[in-house]
């Protein structure tokens, strides 16, 4: 083979080697690009997931704060959210708790009662672990003022002779649990297992009829006009409230949820003559949580009630226990009554020893007079009561413990604490 042939063959071999090298380099670049794209996609998915989790965490934190802001009564009360119950708490928000999230969130609530006068400082932290195993945390802060919601409606009241309305368009004195029976009337059993039903006028809130002979197994929610066949017309006034028990030392109103022992309420009338003695009844109650119609419900039911009583397959008990009381009062000729209510124990004693119980009543200086002297403020003695009185609540503590006081006595018209009532 001549020299030119050798040179041509060597050139072809050199070209094939260069092409192979170029292919290898291109493959390396392609592999690096593919790996970078996959890594970028992973980072994008991680950051998108983290953004979604942060959004859910903020939503959970906001919902927790709004729940705290939605308190309805200053002192602890059955079936209601209260300012007194705004305390430190931890909980987990996951599928088991009814939250459809793509992570398990821990909601940590820290409350400072002393940060502001007449308010509580609340800090809500939502913690979780992201897809990469890194702990994440979102914190929301808020201040919750202790302004009784009972006064908030005053801002919306205009001048004129408008008629105040409560739940379901009825007078505020008509209890929410009373069932409408038509013709502008609502009915409610005086005692859950009793046979007496009281009928309210929806426009005025006055008790205008008293019916007897109702089956003890018939609940208020099941009442119909056909159940009210033996009724007498008249005019009565209602005194009602809750009784809570705690043996904690010191007593904590927000944790007063012990099963109530047998207790009755006696109302001694004064200031004139009355056609009949007061009719007082007491029911031991518990609070249950259940889902109906896709919504979460929390109801107070008799302590021995079963889910079937509400037509439910099941419910979960919150552990809250208390007693409800109602007194039906026949007023004097001037349509008023005066007197004093006391608790009557059965199987336990009222006294000052560690084995006794002390009765404290929730009281609030709502008019800023510096004294508990108005009937709505839950005084020791009522005078000239002309309407229904609700929320006249008691807490029963150990006899050797003092009655819980208001967290901030400097509050003007909303300071709420308890004072000794018995002995």
Work out the pLDDT band at 408, boundaries 50, 70, 90.
very low
Inside any domain, residue 151 = no
Q: How far apart are CA 151 and CA 174, in angstroms?
A: 19
224 and 242 fall within a common domain: no
Please, which residues bridge with residue 121 across strands?
112, 143
Work out the pLDDT band at 135, boundaries 50, 70, 90.
confident
> What local confidence, expressed as pLDDT, does residue 116 receive?
65
**What confidence tens digit (pLDDT) does each residue in 68-87 have?**
887 777 776 655 677 778 88
| Least confident residue range of 128-137, 189-198, 409-418 | 409-418
Q: Which of these three, 195, 229, 263, is where a domain ends?
A: 229
| Least confident residue range of 1-15, 47-61, 191-205 | 1-15
Closest CA to 112 of 135, 87, 132, 134: 87
Mean pLDDT throughout 286-299?
A: 85
277 and 415 fall within a common domain: yes
Inside any domain, residue 196 = yes
Work out the pLDDT band at 157, boundaries 50, 70, 90.
very low
Work out the pLDDT band at 221, boundaries 50, 70, 90.
confident
Q: Which of these three, 229, 261, 279, is where a domain ends?
A: 229
272 and 415 fall within a common domain: yes
First to last CA, the chain: 130
Closest CA to 298 of 283, 321, 314, 316: 316
> What local confidence, expressed as pLDDT, does residue 15 receive?
60
109 and 214 fall within a common domain: no
> What local confidence, expressed as pLDDT, does residue 359 receive?
97
**How many Å separate Cα 185 from the centre of its chain?**
28
Inside any domain, residue 349 = yes
Q: Which of these three, 85, 116, 145, is where a domain ends?
A: 145
Work out the pLDDT band at 161, boundaries 50, 70, 90.
very low
Helical ranges in 351-405 per DSSP H: none
Q: How far apart are CA 376 and CA 132, in angstroms?
A: 58
132 and 221 fall within a common domain: no
Work out the pLDDT band at 351, boundaries 50, 70, 90.
very high
Tell me how many domains the chain contains: 3
Residue 172 in this model has a pLDDT that exceeds 70: yes
178 and 271 fall within a common domain: no
> What local confidence, expressed as pLDDT, does residue 42 receive?
62
DSSP three-state, residue 389: strand
Inside any domain, residue 41 = no
Q: How far apart are CA 87 and CA 291, in angstroms?
A: 26
Mean pLDDT throughout 188-205?
A: 87
* C-alpha radius of gyration, the chain, whole number: 34
The number of CA neighbours under 13 Å toward the Cβ of 183 is 7
CA angle 289, 150, 290 (to 5 degrees): 5
84 and 223 fall within a common domain: no
Residue 367 in this model has a pLDDT that exceeds 80: no
Mean pLDDT throughout 405-423?
A: 63
Mean pLDDT throughout 27-54?
A: 73
Work out the pLDDT band at 379, boundaries 50, 70, 90.
very high
Inside any domain, residue 110 = yes
Mean pLDDT throughout 407-417?
A: 45
Mean pLDDT throughout 50-76?
A: 80
To which H or E segment does residue 31 belong?
Answer: helix 3-69
Name every residue whose Cβ is closer than 8 Å to that of residue 397 and which is 6 or more positions away in sequence. 246, 247, 251, 357, 358, 360, 403, 404
312 and 408 fall within a common domain: yes
Mean pLDDT throughout 291-317?
A: 85
Residue 48 in this model has a pLDDT that exceeds 90: no
Instruction: Round the average pLDDT of the chain to a whole number and report it.
Output: 82
75 and 185 fall within a common domain: no
205 and 301 fall within a common domain: no
**In degrees rounded to 5, what are phi and psi of residue 131?**
-60, -30
357 and 217 fall within a common domain: no
> What local confidence, expressed as pLDDT, does residue 422 receive?
96
Residue 154 in this model has a pLDDT that exceeds 50: no
214 and 270 fall within a common domain: no
Closest CA to 87 of 35, 144, 33, 47: 144
> What local confidence, expressed as pLDDT, does residue 276 receive?
92
Highest mean pLDDT among 216-230, 306-320, 344-358, 365-379: 344-358
Please, which residues bridge with residue 353 across strands?
none
Inside any domain, residue 56 = no
Query: Residue 161 corresponds to which tokens in the numbers above?
Result: 């002779």
Q: How far apart are CA 49 and CA 43, in angstroms?
A: 10
Domain, as residue range, for 85: 67-145
**How many Å separate Cα 48 from the centre of its chain?**
35
Inside any domain, residue 416 = yes
Residue 40 in this model has a pLDDT that exceeds 70: no
């Amino acid at each position: 083979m001549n020299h030119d042939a050798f040179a041509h063959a060597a050139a072809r071999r050199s070209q094939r080697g260069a092409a192979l090298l170029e292919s290898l380099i291109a493959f390396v670049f392609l592999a690096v690009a593919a790996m970078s794209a996959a890594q970028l996609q992973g980072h994008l998915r991680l950051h998108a997931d983290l953004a979604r989790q942060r959004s859910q965490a903020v939503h959970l934190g906001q919902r927790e704060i709004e729940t705290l802001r939605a308190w309805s009564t200053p002192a602890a009360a059955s079936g209601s959210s209260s300012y007194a119950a705004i305390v430190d708490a931890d909980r987990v928000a996951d599928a088991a708790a009814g939250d459809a999230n793509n992570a398990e969130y821990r909601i940590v609530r820290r409350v400072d009662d002393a940060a502001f006068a007449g308010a509580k400082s609340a800090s809500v932290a939502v913690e979780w672990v992201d897809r990469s195993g890194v702990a994440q945390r979102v914190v929301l802060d808020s201040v919750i003022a202790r302004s009784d919601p009972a006064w908030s409606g005053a801002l919306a009241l205009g001048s004129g002779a408008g008629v105040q309305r409560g739940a379901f368009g009825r007078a505020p004195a008509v209890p929410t649990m009373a069932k409408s029976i038509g013709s502008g009337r609502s009915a409610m059993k005086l005692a859950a297992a009793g046979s007496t039903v009281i009928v309210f006028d929806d426009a005025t809130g006055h008790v205008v009829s008293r019916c007897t002979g109702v089956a003890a197994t018939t609940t208020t929610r099941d009442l119909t006009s056909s159940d009210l066949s033996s009724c007498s017309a008249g005019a009565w006034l209602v005194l009602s409230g809750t009784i809570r028990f705690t043996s904690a030392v010191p007593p904590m109103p927000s944790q007063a949820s012990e099963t109530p022992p047998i207790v009755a309420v006696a109302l001694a009338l004064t200031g004139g003559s009355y056609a009949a003695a007061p009719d007082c009844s007491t029911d031991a109650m518990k609070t249950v949580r259940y889902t109906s119609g896709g919504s979460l419900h929390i109801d107070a039911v008799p302590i021995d009630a079963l889910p079937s009583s509400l037509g439910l397959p099941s419910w979960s008990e919150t552990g809250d226990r208390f007693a409800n009381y109602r007194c039906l009062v026949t007023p004097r000729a001037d349509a008023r009554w005066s007197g004093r209510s006391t608790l009557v124990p059965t199987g336990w004693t009222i006294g000052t020893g560690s084995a006794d119980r002390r009765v404290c009543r929730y009281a609030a200086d709502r008019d800023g007079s510096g004294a508990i002297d108005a009937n709505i403020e839950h005084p020791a003695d009522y005078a000239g009561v002309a309407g229904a009185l609700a929320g006249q609540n008691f807490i029963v503590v150990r006899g050797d413990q003092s009655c819980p006081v208001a967290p901030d006595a400097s509050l003007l018209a909303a300071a709420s604490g308890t004072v000794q009532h018995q002995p």
